[in-house]
Structure 1
Amino acid sequence: MRAKRRTHFSPAEAPYNEKAERLFIMDFSLLKSFTAVADEKSFSTAAKHLFISQQSLSKQIAKLEEELGTTLFVRSRPLSLTPDGKQFLQTAKEILQLKQQYEESSSHSFSGSHFIHVGIEHTIARAILPYVLPEYLKEHPDTYVKVSEESPEVLHKSIIYDGVDLVIGSINGAPDNYDTVTLCKKEQVLVVPKQIMRELAGDQYDEIKARFSECADLTWFEKAPFIKIPRQSSGGRALNSYLKYYDINPCFVCELTNVENAFQLANSGLGVLVYARIFWDMLAPELQADYLKNIDIFPLPYLPDIDDVCAYYNKETGLHGKNKELLDIFRRFFDDYRSGKEPEKTEE
């Protein structure tokens, strides 16, 4: 009897042409998902880091296993790799690294001889990139800079999964494999709509405003409507720290994940907002003057458990010369900011 032809092979057994065909048609997102599960040893944890549902992630891994014709994971607790899975993990990481190198080299063809990939928080990017990036590119015209603007939660994993060289943002508990450089304490201010301030203060508006010009007392605003930022974000953690510090439980009228949208709602009179001081300070003076027609800004005391603005990167790979030079410019910017020196935008 003639033996049936095998249609599926393990990665080690598959003929070269068949393996090559599979790899060419493979979705790179499947490799990214596979390496995330393998590194985290958990579907649920990897799904959170990839910002997809656990069900979707399980389907992706099942699809990958079907394409390869083998089982990659032993579904037990803790999750572990099969022998084929261990072998394919190395291959998957090599493929993703080659993909990243290709993307970088293709960028060089129109941008210069060097490539760096920087991750930065959305709101921090808005505040400081107009000052830092033009200065860096003026000093390094042969460098192509890719900037990924993401939330802190995404950025924490972007070094591992997205090939980011350097991250600028808030970090809450740095992993052991990251080196961290503190750039600036993230002081906060209280944004209070004038309408709400006048309702609370009455005839004492000017007196209360002068009293809080140096430092606001949050307990005085407990009866005011507040705008909430989710505690998973750095802005939300700052808000939560102040609520605990002052032992108050205000009424929240809405919750937004985007702190800039929250600021605009505060400006419209909706509610009180805890807001990072650097975001306010980096606004153009004419914009500040326009906003101050509708809101009052009061400093809040610095609390040590509030996330600082940091730079962090992979400890194993470190920073190469171009990234170190960019980090130096970020440091100079924050040194000037802390000293009260007004930053200047680089002229083209």
Structure 2
Amino acid sequence: MSNALCYYLPCTQGIDPHAKALAMEFDQLRYFLRVAGRANFTRAAEDLAISQPALSRSIQKLEEELGQPVFQRKARSVSLTEAGVLLQSRAQQVLTIIEDTKAEITDDGQSGRVRVGAIPTIAPYFLPNLLQQFSSEFPKAHLIVQENTTDALIKSCTQNEIDLAILALPVSTKYLGVAELFEEELLLVLPPDHPLVQKSKIRLSDIEPLPFVLLGEAHCLSDNIVTFCRQRSFQPVAVERTSQLTMVQELVSLSHGVSMIPAMARILDDSNRRVYRSLSGKKPTRKIAVIWNPYRFQSRLVEAFKDRLQTYAQQSVQSISET
């Protein structure tokens, strides 16, 4: 979170001393929120790029001004006191107003930042060309990309740490805007010497007894695969789980099991160590969507990115279907 107030109250000669104090108080609020979010002074100091003693002094001064503690200190963590819970709510409101006001005043539709989040099974396959196209059209824009799991991106979007996130549905939240972008097929991936490669049609029943290689439980792609199988009355047996889609592909190549891979990832895989096949009958798919916080100010640049994103998504669907 940036120190928005410094754009209004630069420390120059002749500035009102009360304004200097006000600027320092906003820093205190920003630091307080980071410690509250991380529940740890060390990790919060690392996020803020300041020393832990400096952070501790800032929080101590804040508590002295309030006349009561905002944190309960423990050996390796902190938790909010009743006063801290109230301050957290108010501090978020105050900093939100400041950030949105600055963003609205300086919004020229051409410059500024766009903070984009995406899940790991989308980011490296879908975003690069889109980011390149957008940077060419808006050279003054500063694009920031965060790759994380669905739950973490929803939290970041809710807390305004990112402007929008690209992920797979469903999204379990009531307070975010959601727009579906496209639906893509999940393709069966097999080692090239697997007996099923020779079959003209591969049915779900053919893979039911086979071991699966899946991503870890934090990744929604595994949920998509398991849900599809359960809806057809069988539970895939995961013999191995990993944190990266490329490792899933490699383990399949080594005959550790089979898996299902998004079509966008298959397009970038030119290895002859894996074979991709489309299942016959009802095919497994996932729906890709963009989410954002409708209660926060959206700059014209962010809206432009969202518009280009939707156009690019439709082009990608056509490209995938022609492959």
> So what's the TM-score if we normalise by structure 1?
0.64
Residues 299 and 65 of structure 1: is their aligned pair in 2 closer, same or farther, counting only changes over 3 Å?
farther
Partners of 1:96 and 1:318 lie apart in 2 by 9
Q: Is the 8 A contact 1:159 1:313 kept in 2?
A: yes
Provide the residue aligned with 1:239 in structure 2: 225
Partners of 2:82 and 2:178 lie apart in 1 by 35
Q: Is the 8 A contact 2:183 2:287 kept in 1?
A: yes
Residues 270 and 316 of structure 1: is their aligned pair in 2 closer, same or farther, counting only changes over 3 Å?
same
Amino acid at match of 1:89: S
Bigger mean CA offset, 83-92 vs 251-260: 83-92
Residues 72 and 116 of structure 1: is their aligned pair in 2 closer, same or farther, counting only changes over 3 Å?
same
SS of the residue 1:270 aligns to? coil
Q: Is the 8 A contact 1:191 1:274 kept in 2?
A: yes
Any unmatched runs of 5+ in structure 1? 1-15, 38-42, 44-59, 105-111, 344-348
SS of the residue 1:185 aligns to? strand
Provide the residue aligned with 1:68 in structure 2: 63
Provide the residue aligned with 1:192 in structure 2: 190
Quote the sequence identity (%): 15
1:251-283 Cα distance to aligned partner (Å, 9 max, x none): 4321113222212221233210111122213x1
Q: Does 1:31 align with 2:52?
A: no
Residues 176 and 318 of structure 1: is their aligned pair in 2 closer, same or farther, counting only changes over 3 Å?
farther
Q: 1:140, CA displacement in angstroms?
A: 0.7
Residues 122 and 84 of structure 1: is their aligned pair in 2 closer, same or farther, counting only changes over 3 Å?
closer
SS of the residue 1:211 aligns to? coil
Provide the residue aligned with 2:43 in structure 1: none
Q: 1:338, CA displacement in angstroms?
A: 2.2
Provide the residue aligned with 1:314 in structure 2: 293
Partners of 1:25 and 1:316 lie apart in 2 by 23
Q: Is the 8 A contact 1:117 1:146 kept in 2?
A: yes
1:103-114 to structure 2, matched below 5 A, reads 113-114=111-112
Partners of 1:319 and 1:252 lie apart in 2 by 42
Provide the residue aligned with 1:90 in structure 2: 90
Q: Is the 8 A contact 1:172 1:307 kept in 2?
A: no
1:1-348 to structure 2, matched below 5 A, reads 30-34=32-36, 68=63, 70-72=68-70, 82=82, 85-87=85-87, 89-91=89-91, 94=94, 113-195=111-193, 197-198=194-195, 206=198, 208=199, 210-212=200-202, 217-281=203-267, 283=268, 287-288=269-270, 291=271, 293-300=272-279, 301-302=282-283, 307-317=286-296, 319-340=298-319
Q: Is the 8 A contact 2:112 2:141 kept in 1?
A: yes
Q: 1:29, CA displacement in angstroms?
A: 6.2
Partners of 1:173 and 1:113 lie apart in 2 by 30
SS of the residue 2:184 aligns to? coil
SS of the residue 1:187 aligns to? strand
1:156-182 Cα distance to aligned partner (Å, 9 max, x none): 111133521111122433422211110
Q: 1:224, CA displacement in angstroms?
A: 2.4
Amino acid at match of 2:143: V
Residues 90 and 307 of structure 1: is their aligned pair in 2 closer, same or farther, counting only changes over 3 Å?
farther
Provide the residue aligned with 2:10 in structure 1: none
Residues 251 and 168 of structure 1: is their aligned pair in 2 closer, same or farther, counting only changes over 3 Å?
closer
Provide the residue aligned with 2:47 in structure 1: none
Residues 156 and 268 of structure 1: is their aligned pair in 2 closer, same or farther, counting only changes over 3 Å?
same
Q: 1:243, CA displacement in angstroms?
A: 2.4
1:202-242 Cα distance to aligned partner (Å, 9 max, x none): xxx53x1x223xxxx22212332211323442111112113
Structure 1 moving runs of 4+ over 4 Å: 19-30, 63-67, 71-74, 95-102
Residues 341 and 73 of structure 1: is their aligned pair in 2 closer, same or farther, counting only changes over 3 Å?
closer
Q: Is the 8 A contact 2:111 2:138 kept in 1?
A: no
SS of the residue 1:177 aligns to? coil
Partners of 2:187 and 2:319 lie apart in 1 by 17
> So what's the TM-score if we normalise by structure 2?
0.69
Count of residues paired in the alignment = 273
Residues 341 and 229 of structure 1: is their aligned pair in 2 closer, same or farther, counting only changes over 3 Å?
closer
